[in-house]
Amino acid sequence: MSMKIWLDGELVDENEAKISVFDHGLLYGDGVFEGIRFYKRRVFRLEEHVRRLFDSARAIVMKMPWSEEEVCRHVVETIRANGLDDGYVRLVVTRGTGGLGLNPFLCERPSMFIIASTITLYPKEHYENGLALITCATRRPTPGALMPQVKSLNYLNNVMAKVEAIQAGALEGIMLNEQGYVAECTGDNIFVIRDGELLTPPVAAGALDGITRNVILELGEKLGVPCREVTLSRYDLFTADECFLTGTAAEVIPVVSLDQRQIGDGKPGAVTRRFLDAFHELTGSTGTSID
Ligand code: PXG
């Protein structure tokens, strides 16, 4: 059965889901997106994702022709139309069709499409044994150049960093900001545990304000693990007791080395395990029903 894509108000066959070559999303990476997971017919943190989408749109001066409630409804509709119980939604809003030339005000209206499918970011064994990271040479843009909170269609920076990680034989890499501090990974936020405390770089360091990151910070409170947003350097990663990454697509994945240097005892740690279990408990028991 072919996939049904929600495109500008209609559920169309994947072969008919087409965007103009004059769309500014394609011509200039001018647009925003979200990645949302659903588990057991429940969409995890749907309202938060849609809220972030609207914030991203507002930050790039793109007026959304739908309400947040309508977008939530269309996400649910798309999942239902594809008969999926578990999976991943990719929601993209482009600036729309315009002419050649940057002026976004000449674009007719934003286009939105919603794909409900599945995603696997890392092979399963790494969730048990942990990931080996490298430091990418490509830096995160400074917040003055590209706001890190905006989940925009400009991912070339991340793609180049991902190329470096893959070519170095790693599945993921850390990205530093212009000051040399850790910002995040190419598609995940990063956490370390040191002396029983959970630490993560602040958004101002060049990290996306990740929904999963926020879920982990909430769980820290519930689990009685003190959490702090703090500037981290590679030194802090090398000397951490434990490390893990978070993201909607990645979920929670342990990290056991950076640049061939072992982190902690080189195995997924006990605190990481607690967060992993608490996270899965939450994703399996909460969310917006699609029925
Ligand atoms: N940092 C970046 C740069 C991201 O793109 C995250 C962190 C994690 O944020 P959330 O809110 O998901 O916890 C992301 C997430 C895709 C895809 O192809 C999207 C992301 C990552 C990898 C793949 O849809 N975004």
Asked if 258 and 237 touch (Cβ cutoff 8 Å), the reply is yes
Work out which ligand 1 atom sits closest to the CA atom of 184: 1
What is d(CA 233, CA 201) in angstroms, rounded to the nearest whole number? 9
Residue 62: the pLDDT is 98
The residue whose C-alpha atom lies closest to atom 23 belonging to ligand 1 is 187
Q: What is d(CA 153, CA 138) in angstroms, rounded to the nearest whole number?
A: 18
Q: What are phi and psi of 164, to 5 degrees?
A: -65, -40
Question: What's the 35 CA to ligand 1 centre distance in angstroms?
Answer: 7
Atom of ligand 1 minimally distant from the CA of 52: 11
What does the alpha-carbon distance between residue 76 and residue 73 come to, in Å, rounded to a whole number?
5
Candidate from 45, 93, 248, 251 with most ligand 1 atoms within 8 A of CB, to mutate:
248
Q: Is the pTM of this model over 0.95?
A: yes
Contact assessment for residue 13 and residue 4, using Cβ atoms and an 8 Å cutoff = yes
pLDDT at 79: 98
Q: Which residues make beta-bridge pairs with 100?
A: none
Residue with tokens 């087409």: 18
User: How many angstroms separate the alpha carbon of residue 265 from the centre of ligand 1?
Assistant: 28
Is CATH 3.40.50.2300 what the domain over 4-117 is classified as, yes or no? no
**222 is a catalytic site residue:** no
Q: How many CA atoms lie within 13 A of 215 on its CB side?
A: 26
Going by C-alpha positions, the residue among 223, 171, 229 that lies closest to residue 205 is 229
Q: Return the ligand 1 atom nearest residue 208 CA.
A: 1
pLDDT at position 212, please? 98
Q: For residue 78, report the phi and psi dihedrals to the nearest 5 degrees.
A: -65, -40
List residues near ligand 1 (CB under 6 A): 35, 90, 158, 184, 187-189, 208, 210-213, 246-249
pLDDT of residue 265: 97
Give the integer Cα–Cα distance in Å for 74 and 171: 33
Q: Pocket of ligand 1, candidates 119, 154, 189, 252: which has the most ligand atoms within 8 Å of its Cβ, to mutate?
A: 189
Q: Which residue's alpha carbon is nearest to atom 24 within ligand 1? A: 35
Cα–Cα distances in angstroms (integers) from residue 154 to residues 17, 44, 182, in the given order: 22, 25, 20
Please give the span between the terminal C-alpha atoms of the chain, in angstroms, as a whole number. Answer: 21
In 70-226, at which residue ranges do the beta strands (DSSP E only) sit? 87-94, 111-117, 131-135, 172-176, 182-185, 189-194, 197-200
CATH fold of the domain at 124-283 = D-amino Acid Aminotransferase; Chain A, domain 2 (3.20.10)
* CA-closest candidate to residue 259, choices 166, 146, 173: 173
Please spell the DSSP secondary structure of 55-98, one letter per residue. HHHHHTT---SS-HHHHHHHHHHHHHHTT-SSEEEEEEEE--B-
- The helix-helix angle for 46-59 and 211-223 (nearest 10°) equals 130
- Name the active-site residue from 63, 151, 162, 267: 151
Domains of the chain, by residue range, sit at: 4-117, 124-283
Strand partners, 288: 43
Provide the residue-wise pLDDT of the chain in tens; the chain has 291 residues: 799 999 999 999 999 999 999 999 999 999 999 999 999 999 999 999 999 999 999 999 999 999 999 999 999 999 999 999 999 999 999 999 999 999 999 999 999 999 999 999 899 999 999 999 999 999 999 999 999 999 999 999 999 999 999 999 999 999 999 999 999 999 999 999 999 999 999 999 999 999 999 999 999 999 999 999 999 999 999 999 999 999 999 999 999 999 999 999 999 999 999 999 999 999 999 999 999
From the CA of 35, give the closest atom in ligand 1.
Answer: 24
Residue nearest to atom 9 of ligand 1 (CA): 210
